[in-house]
Structure formats: structure tokens, C-alpha cells
């Protein structure tokens, strides 16, 4: 048609429709999602539980799918129990904790998460799930699981304190380092388990509440003293008449053991080498040989007044039965002193500053001298011994031993491996025998050899006095010849072959002049005393092999009879006492 106008439209005028249409579409989609969520009976997409994908499943399907997943969760997952420093103290699976899971209940929880009953909320959740933002549903154990789990965790992680221990096996010492214990606070642990959520795989982590129980760390220095040192033979207890068992020892490097122990973890074991030292004499062996043999014996004649004999007898009683275990010392003065009236001793002649005077305990040294001679013949170690100032007539030169309060002393040591006993016998005929009983391990025996280095004769001194009638004479001081002698210990084998000779002692005896009181005006040629000089008894030789204690009358080790007879016949009683201190 001619002259008709065509309608023109501006494209920009309709751009506002785009956002409207998009909004309408979103609203439509969201509305559709709300309707689907409200009317649907499946679980939202991208929803997982216990590692199982439950997307689009019904509750029944989800429960069926969750059963094997929960079984794996129960046996392969659990609770990590840590201590304060983050170190894991224990890991217990849910099965070990006694915790179980309900598949149907977990499927219902996943379904409820998708269908809360609020269409708008459920629609939005469904929309985000479809976009890939699904949910991970946490598996929940059965109600009350925390208390049971706390009980099981406490049992598994509670520790008794493990003190330092040791064990010796062969040539190794095994040391177990101390480990502190702990007591678990179960109530606090239960509360922490209740507050702890699991991760997507069902694992939980909880810090252990506990109290430390300190363990004894041990003392290697004390252990070294307890186990080591020097081995000890079996010994004899005289008071209880029992044998004390032997002690074997082991020694180890304490510094090395301490270094290894410091580097070890608590409760770990380390080993160090040891050196064992066995005892030489066992209790079983000692029982069979205790005091079996006479190691040495010596006999002396006891002369003088009744007081002197009583003193010798008293010392013999106090020495009798003395037992010395290996290494122990015999101390004469400790056993017998002090030599005083208050200690039971009587007054008898003794030496004081070179003079013979009456004193308490006179003659007490005869037992020490006899014991010294027996100890020499027993081949024992002499610790301390001093010769008398003057030679004694009851024992050979170099075989005497003087003792007094404050010194000199007489001591000897049991240097054998077995106990020894000192046995004394004071016979009715005034003989003192000392036997050293012990255990012989070979057939050797001892003889003493005396070497006289010098002899100094005494001199005669005459003193006139108005107290005596002319021609009358009285010996005021008995004489002694001076000597210097060496004694040697000779050891022989059972066949009489000399094995060794060692120097024992040097003994110096002073001379003492004879002093005779004479009446004034007596001619000098008539004043020479006729009393013979008394010399010391010669040292006897023991039998080749010591025999059991001899009868008191045995002359094997006593002063020879001819010398005694001279003493008895020719020396006045007073002089005999003075010579027999």
C-alpha cells in the first residue's frame, strides 16, 4: 500500500528482560528443588558417611551400603590417644574400645540431613548438593560409648612405674632403664572423648589426662658396690656355730654402663660385659674341712709362784677358742688385757725398767710367747711382735713375744683361705700348749732356725751391806746374758726338702748383771756366788708333718727336760719367778 509507515523498535529497550528472565529461571529451579526435596525420599547428591557415597539412596539403600563401611570403620579406625608432648601413647580401634555403630541409624541421620521438613532450607541444600557441595555425615557410636571407651583407654595407657632392674647372665649384665608410670583420670578422659569429634574417616584424637608415678632410676655406683669388689670365701661364725656362705662377685665398667643407660629409652634394656670372680672356698667345702688339721703347735713349761701360774692360766682361757676367718687378725692384748687386778689378774714377778718387781699380771706374756711360736710353725703372717727385754727361760731365743698396755703388741693375721682356731690347753702338770687349728692344703711344714749374732756375758756385782752378817750372801738380782739373734722361717715339703727360708725377725736381749749382797768384811774370794746362770731354752724342732694336738705331756715342742731340771734344782723360787715373766 502506497504511503503506509513501517513500525521501528529499539533493541536496547528490551535488555531489562534478561535479568528478569534469569531470576525467574533461578526461582523456578529453586522452587523445583524445594518441591523435589519436599516430595523426594532419597538422600542428597554428594552425601557421604563412613567413607560411603550415599548420593540418591533411600534410607534402606543407605543402610545396606553403610553396613560394610561401618564394619571397616569399627575394625580399622579408632581413637588416637596422645600425651602432653603430642607423642602417641596408644591407638585403639573402635572394636578394641568396645564401640559399635548402627547402619540404619546413620542412614536415617543422612536422610534427615537432606529432609529437615523445611522446604526452603531443604531445597537450598539440594541445590548446593547438586552443585557439588555435598555433606559428610559423622558416624556416631552407640549412646554411652564414652564411658566404656574411657575405661578401655585407661586400661591400655595406664602404666605401673617400672623401676631400674638388672640381671646377670654369663658374662653380660643386662640393665633395664627405669620408666615412670601414670595413672589416668577416667572422668576427665570421658569428658574429652565426649567433646572430641571424628574426622571424615571416623578417626578421633584425644589428649590423655594422667598423673605421673615416678620410678626408681637406680644407682650404678651402688650396684657396683653391691655386686663387685673382692670375692669372699665362706666363713665361720663362732657365736652361732654356723658357716656363712661364700660371696662371688662381678665387676663392670660403671662409666660405660651409665653412658649406655642415659642414651636408652625409658624401659629399654642395655648390656655391658662383666668380669666374674668366684670364691675360692665354698660353704659346702668348708663344712667338710673346718678346723680339720693342726697347722702349728707349741708347748712351754709354766714355772714360778702360784700367782704367776694363775695369770698364765687366765690368759690361756681368754685366748682359747678364738676364731679368725681368712684375713682377720689376732690381737693378744684385746683378748687378754688390761693386765690388772680388776680384770682378774694376780700379783706376780714381772719386768719394770729392767728390774724384776711384783706387779699385777706377771707372767701374762708366756701365753703370747707360746702363741707366737705356734703361729710361726703354722706359717701365719706375723703383724706385730716384740722380744722381751731379757731372754726367757721357758722358750727359745727369738720365739718370745712381750705385750703390755699401750704397746708393745702381739698380732698375727690368718693368711690362709680357711678359718683357723686358737686352742689352748693348760695341763695339771703346768704345761701350756697352744694349737693352731685350720685346714691344710698341702704337705708343707715349718721349722724355725735361730742365728746368734752376738752374746754379751753378764758381770758380777758385789755390794756390801750391814744388814747381813759377815760371810753371809744373798743374790739380789738374777743375771741375764745378752743376745742378738736372727730367726728364719724355713718351709719344707712333705719329703723334707727345703722349699724356702725367709728372715723372720731380729731379737735383742739385754744383759743384766748378777748383784749379790754380802755382809760387811767378807773376804772377796769368798763372795763369788755359786748359783749357776740360767740360759734360755733352745728352740725345739717340730715333727716333719704337724699332727693333731699333742697330749699335754708330749715333749715335741716344750722346753727340754735337762734345762728345766737345772732350773728346778739350782734356782731359788724368787729367781725362777723373775726369769719366767
Q: Of 158, 175, 207, at which residue does a domain stop?
A: 207
Note whether residue 4 is domain-resident: no
Nearest-angstrom CA–CA distance, 44 and 30: 15
Same domain, 522 and 573: yes
Note whether residue 261 is domain-resident: yes
Grade residue 105 by pLDDT with cuts at 50, 70 and 90. confident
Grid coordinates representing 388?
722381751
Same domain, 321 and 268: no
pLDDT score for 548: 40
Note whether residue 2 is domain-resident: no
pLDDT score for 28: 59
Same domain, 171 and 229: no
Same domain, 403 and 384: yes
Average pLDDT over residues 53-63: 85
Same domain, 196 and 238: no
Note whether residue 96 is domain-resident: yes
Same domain, 298 and 270: no
Answer yes or no: pTM beyond 0.85. no
Average pLDDT over residues 180-207: 88
The counts of H helices and E strands in the chain are 15, 30
Same domain, 326 and 241: no
Instruction: Give 125-157 pLDDT, tens digit per residue.
Output: 766 767 777 778 888 787 888 898 899 999 998
Nearest residue to 505 (alpha-carbon basis) of 330, 333, 373: 373
Residues 6+ apart with CB under 8 A from 496: 544
Same domain, 372 and 505: yes
Grid coordinates representing 359?
706387779
Segments forming the whole domain that contains residue 386 = 293-579
Q: Of 286, 316, 342, at which residue does a domain stop?
A: 286
Nearest residue to 236 (alpha-carbon basis) of 354, 111, 119, 322: 322
Count of domains forming the chain: 3
Taking the C-alpha atoms of 214, 217, 222 and 226 in order, what is their torsion angle to the nearest 10 degrees? 90
Same domain, 522 and 540: yes
Same domain, 196 and 260: no
Same domain, 196 and 225: no
Distances in Å between the Cα of 45 and the Cα atoms of 36, 61, 110, 112, 114 are 13, 14, 11, 14, 9
Average pLDDT over residues 532-561: 44
* Poorest-pLDDT segment among 56-65, 86-95, 240-249, 561-570: 561-570
Grade residue 521 by pLDDT with cuts at 50, 70 and 90. confident
Grade residue 573 by pLDDT with cuts at 50, 70 and 90. very low
Average pLDDT over residues 247-262: 94
Same domain, 238 and 149: no
Amino acid at each position: 500500500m502506497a504511503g503506509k509507515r513501517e513500525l521501528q523498535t529499539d533493541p536496547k529497550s528490551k535488555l531489562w528482560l534478561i535479568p528478569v528472565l534469569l531470576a525467574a529461571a533461578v526461582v523456578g529451579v529453586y522452587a523445583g528443588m524445594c518441591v523435589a526435596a519436599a516430595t523426594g525420599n532419597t538422600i542428597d547428591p554428594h552425601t557421604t558417611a563412613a567413607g560411603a557415597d550415599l548420593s540418591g539412596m533411600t534410607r534402606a539403600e543407605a543402610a545396606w551400603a553403610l553396613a560394610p563401611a561401618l564394619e571397616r570403620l569399627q575394625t580399622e579406625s579408632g581413637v588416637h590417644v596422645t600425651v602432653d608432648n603430642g607423642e602417641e601413647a596408644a591407638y585403639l580401634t573402635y572394636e578394641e574400645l568396645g564401640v559399635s555403630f548402627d547402619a540404619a541409624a546413620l542412614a536415617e541421620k543422612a536422610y534427615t540431613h537432606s529432609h529437615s521438613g523445611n522446604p526452603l532450607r531443604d531445597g537450598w541444600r539440594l541445590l548446593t548438593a547438586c552443585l557439588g557441595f555435598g555433606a559428610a555425615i559423622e558416624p556416631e557410636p552407640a549412646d554411652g560409648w564414652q564411658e566404656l571407651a574411657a575405661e578401655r583407654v585407661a586400661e591400655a595407657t595406664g602404666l605401673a612405674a617400672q623401676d631400674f632392674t638388672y640381671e646377670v647372665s654369663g658374662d653380660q649384665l643386662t640393665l633395664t632403664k627405669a620408666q615412670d608410670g601414670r595413672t589416668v583420670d577416667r572422668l576427665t578422659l570421658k569428658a574429652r572423648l565426649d567433646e572430641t569429634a571424628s574426622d571424615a574417616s571416623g578417626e578421633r584424637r584425644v589428649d590423655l589426662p594422667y598423673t605421673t608415678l615416678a620410678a626408681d632410676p637406680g644407682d650404678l655406683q651402688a650396684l657396683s658396690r653391691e655386686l663387685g669388689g673382692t670375692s669372699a670365701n665362706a666363713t665361720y661364725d663362732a657365736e652361732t656355730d654356723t658357716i656363712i656362705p661364700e660371696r662371688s662377685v662381678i665387676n663392670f665398667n660403671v662409666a660405660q654402663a651409665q653412658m649406655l643407660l642415659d642414651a636408652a629409652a625409658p624401659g629399654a634394656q642395655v648390656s655391658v660385659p662383666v668380669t666374674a670372680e668366684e670364691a675360692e672356698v665354698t660353704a659346702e667345702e668348708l663344712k667338710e674341712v673346718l678346723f680339720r688339721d693342726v697347722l702349728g703347735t707349741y708347748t712351754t713349761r709354766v714355772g714360778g709362784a702360784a700367782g704367776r701360774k694363775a695369770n698364765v692360766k687366765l690368759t690361756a682361757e681368754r685366748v682359747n677358742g678364738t676364731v679368725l676367718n681368712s684375713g682377720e687378725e689376732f690381737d693378744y692384748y684385746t683378748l687378754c688385757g688390761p693386765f690388772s687386778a680388776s680384770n682378774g689378774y694376780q700379783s706376780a714377778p714381772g719386768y719394770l725398767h729392767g728390774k724384776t718387781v711384783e706387779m699385777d699380771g706377771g707372767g701374762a706374756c708366756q701365753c703370747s710367747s707360746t702363741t707366737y711360736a705356734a703361729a710361726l710353725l703354722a706359717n701365719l703372717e706375723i703383724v706385730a711382735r716384740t722380744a722381751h727385754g731379757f731372754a726367757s727361760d721357758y722358750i727359745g731365743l727369738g720365739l718370745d713375744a712381750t705385750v703390755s698396755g699401750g704397746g708393745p703388741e702381739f698380732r698375727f693375721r690368718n693368711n690362709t683361705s680357711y678359718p683357723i682356731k686358737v686352742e689352748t690347753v693348760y695341763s695339771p702338770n703346768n704345761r701350756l700348749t697352744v694349737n693352731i687349728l685350720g685346714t691344710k692344703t698341702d704337705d708343707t711344714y715349718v721349722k724355725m732356725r735361730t742365728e746368734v749374732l752376738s752374746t754379751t756375758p753378764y758381770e758380777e756385782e758385789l755390794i756390801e751391806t750391814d744388814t747381813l752378817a759377815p760371810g753371809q750372801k744373798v743374790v739380789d738380782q738374777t743375771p741375764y746374758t745378752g743376745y742378738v739373734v736372727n730367726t728364719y722361717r724355713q718351709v719344707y715339703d712333705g719329703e723334707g726338702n727345703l722349699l724356702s727360708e725367709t728372715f723372720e725377725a731380729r731379737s735383742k736381749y739385754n744383759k743384766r748383771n748378777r748383784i749379790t749382797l754380802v755382809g760387811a768384811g767378807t773376804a772377796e774370794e769368798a763372795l763369788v756366788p755359786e748359783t749357776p746362770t740360767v740360759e734360755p731354752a733352745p728352740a725345739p724342732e717340730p715333727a716333719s708333718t704337724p699332727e693333731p694336738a699333742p697330749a699335754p705331756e708330749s715333749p715335741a715342742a716344750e722346753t727340754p727336760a735337762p734345762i728345766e731340771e737345772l732350773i728346778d734344782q739350782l734356782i731359788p723360787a724368787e729367781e725362777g719367778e723373775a726369769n719366767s715373766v
